[in-house]
Structures are given as structure tokens and as C-alpha cells.
């Protein structure tokens, strides 16, 4: 089913089937973006983005501040109806989004926040299982203000996973956390993704986070995908692996950092 939002064409899939635009494609994608153009008033932000994400693939999106990372993520999430644009987007039926701020309802319990909008008869049981998966078993009755920032993000992850997404969109989900909590959240996200296998698009400013988590890293620049790098599994999990430092420097250079100057 194709839907039109202010000049943007979003092509969704029928339940349980391959996205329509991809039926004849050689490789099936969870996400397919073609020629995506987005702008606010006269200001162009995305100027022809092409991007594919395979089912179960983890893609990290890097780019300078203001380059359009959140704009792209919001377009994939179907959250930008009032933005001018064109292009074709194909995403799966079940898409979950996690933001930097957990966006929990302050007047509802942890359990209530996770089950919010779920109509399944076993919603509570599913939510309890998801909370246990993110390490919050026993905190179901707590209020959001009783949780630390890291715990609130765990609830946000549980809320997204309980919907069994085929695509998880995350916009700097760990950006507001301290370094140690962030590292713990990396391990948690890696385990959750390995268990549930959604396709993932993670927006981040952090090159090391991207290398640690992603199968593939995409750099957005001047409104387009400027650089694409695959991350070998052994590079992602070990900072001393051959190729890790070269990939890191390569990505920093793509982001406009003068690596030679910054290493002195
Ligand atoms: N609602 C809006 N109205 C007008 N301009 C906007 C709006 N939202 C974003 N922009 C502009 O679009 C550009 C891209 O914004 P976007 O939030 O996508 O950047 P970003 O890459 O996510 O940046 P950051 O890394 O700082 O989060 C920016 O120049 C921003 O000012
Ligand atoms: Mg952003």
C-alpha cells in the first residue's frame, strides 16, 4: 500500500510479506529509500538519499550536526507529514522508534508505559518479559521519575521491543547517558538485536559507538549518503583488531575531522 504525505511517497508492505517495491529486487531489503528529498521551506536538507537496509542488518548513520540524520529517521518513521519532499520509502509494517529522551509518560507506571497502545490479550505478560530482557524485572510498578536516565532508556527499549519490530529506528538513544552507562547499553542493545533480529538504523555522533554496534556505517553529508563502510565482526568487538583504527580514522576524515592534527 502506497501512502502519500505532502509529496512524499511511503510504500509499506502487506502483513507478513516482502515490501512491495522490492518483490523483483535481487536482494530483499527491510528498508529501501530512493531519491529522498526533504526540506523545510526553501531550505533543502536531504537532496536525494538512497539507502537499503537488509532484514536483520544493523546500520549506523553518522554525519555532522544539522546534516539531516534525524530528518531521515523521522521520514522512515512516518513522522514528517508536514515536511516538503519527494522520493520513495519502503519500510516494514512493524517499526519502533527510540529517541535520546525516553519519552515515558510520567503519570503511568513502567509496566503501563511498556504496554501503552498494545491491544494483545497478553500485553502485560509480554511487557514483563521485555522488562526482564532489559534488566528491569521487579520494577514494573515504579514511576518513570524513580528511574535513572539509563533505566528510563531501558524502559524505552522494552517498549519498542514488545512490539516485535521488523525495523528499529534509534536517534542517539544513548546520547544523554554517561560513558559507563553507555557502554553497558551497547552490550544490552547488541544482545537484544541478536535475540530479536530487527533491521536497525542507529543515528549517532559517536564513531566508536557506530563501529562497536553496526554491520555497516553510512555517513550523510550535503544531503546524501557520502560514505558507506562495512564493519567486519572482529573489528566491531575488539578495538585492537587489525583494521579498527584505520576504519575509525577513515570515518573521522569522512566527518571532516583533521585526523592528523587531532592526533597531535
Ligand atoms: N521543524 C523544522 N523546521 C525548520 N528547520 C528544521 C526543522 N527540523 C530540522 N530543521 C533543520 O534541518 C536541518 C537538519 O536537521 P536534523 O535535525 O535532521 O539534523 P541532525 O543531523 O539530526 O543534527 P544533530 O546531529 O544536531 O541532531 C537543520 O539545519 C535543522 O535546522
Ligand atoms: Mg538529530
pLDDT, mean of each 10-residue run, the chain (264 residues): 36 40 57 95 91 97 95 95 90 95 94 93 94 96 96 95 95 92 92 94 95 96 94 81 89 89 61
* Range 2-94+199-256: architecture per CATH: 3-Layer(aba) Sandwich (3.40)
Are 109 and 141 in contact by the 8 Å Cβ rule? The answer is: yes
The pLDDT of residue 117 is: 87
Ligand 2 center–CA 206 separation, angstroms? 12
Q: Give yes or no for residue 42 CB within 6 A of ligand 1.
A: no
Strands (E), the chain: 2-5, 8-12, 31-40, 43-53, 58-62, 84-91, 95-98, 167-171, 199-203, 216-221, 224-230
The pLDDT of residue 22 is: 40
Q: Give yes or no for residue 69 CB within 6 A of ligand 1.
A: yes
The pLDDT of residue 264 is: 53
The pLDDT of residue 103 is: 93
Ligand 2 center–CA 24 separation, angstroms? 34
Continuous segment of H or E residues that includes residue 264: none
The pLDDT of residue 234 is: 84
Residue nearest to ligand 1 atom 27, measured at CA: 65
What are residue 97's DSSP bridge partners?
A: 169
Cell output for 53: 537496509
The pLDDT of residue 262 is: 63
Amino acid at each position: 500500500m502506497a501512502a502519500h504525505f505532502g509529496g512524499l511517497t511511503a510504500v509499506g508492505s502487506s502483513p507478513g510479506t516482502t515490501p512491495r517495491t522490492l518483490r523483483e529486487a535481487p536482494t530483499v531489503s527491510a528498508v529501501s529509500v530512493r531519491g529522498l528529498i526533504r526540506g523545510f521551506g526553501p531550505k533543502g536538507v536531504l537532496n536525494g538519499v538512497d539507502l537499503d537496509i537488509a532484514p536483520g542488518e544493523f546500520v549506523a548513520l553518522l554525519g555532522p550536526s544539522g546534516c539531516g540524520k534525524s530528518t531521515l529517521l523521522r521520514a522512515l518513521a512516518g513522522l514528517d507529514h508536514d515536511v516538503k519532499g519527494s522520493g520513495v520509502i519502503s519500510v516494514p509494517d512493524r517499526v519502533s522508534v527510540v529517541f535520546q529522551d525516553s519519552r515515558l509518560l510520567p503519570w503511568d507506571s513502567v509496566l503501563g508505559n511498556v504496554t501503552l497502545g498494545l491491544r494483545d490479550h497478553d500485553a502485560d505478560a509480554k511487557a514483563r518479559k521485555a522488562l526482564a530482557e532489559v534488566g528491569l524485572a521487579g520494577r514494573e510498578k515504579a514511576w518513570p521519575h524513580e528511574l535513572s536516565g539509563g533505566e528510563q532508556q531501558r524502559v524505552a527499549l522494552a517498549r519498542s521491543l514488545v512490539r516485535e519490530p521488523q525495523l528499529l529506528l534509534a536517534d542517539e538513544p544513548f546520547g544523554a547517558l554517561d560513558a559507563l552507562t553507555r557502554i553497558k547499553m551497547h552490550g544490552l542493545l547488541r544482545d537484544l538485536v541478536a535475540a530479536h533480529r530487527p533491521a536497525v538504523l542507529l543515528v549517532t555522533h559517536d564513531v566508536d559507538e557506530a563501529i562497536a554496534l553496526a554491520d555497516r556505517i553510512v555517513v550523510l553529508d550535503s544531503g546524501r549518503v557520502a560514505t558507506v563502510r562495512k564493519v567486519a565482526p572482529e573489528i566491531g568487538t575488539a578495538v585492537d583488531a587489525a583494521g579498527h583504527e584505520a576504519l575509525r580514522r577513515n570515518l573521522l576524515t569522512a566527518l571532516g575531522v583533521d585526523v592528523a592534527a587531532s592526533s597531535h
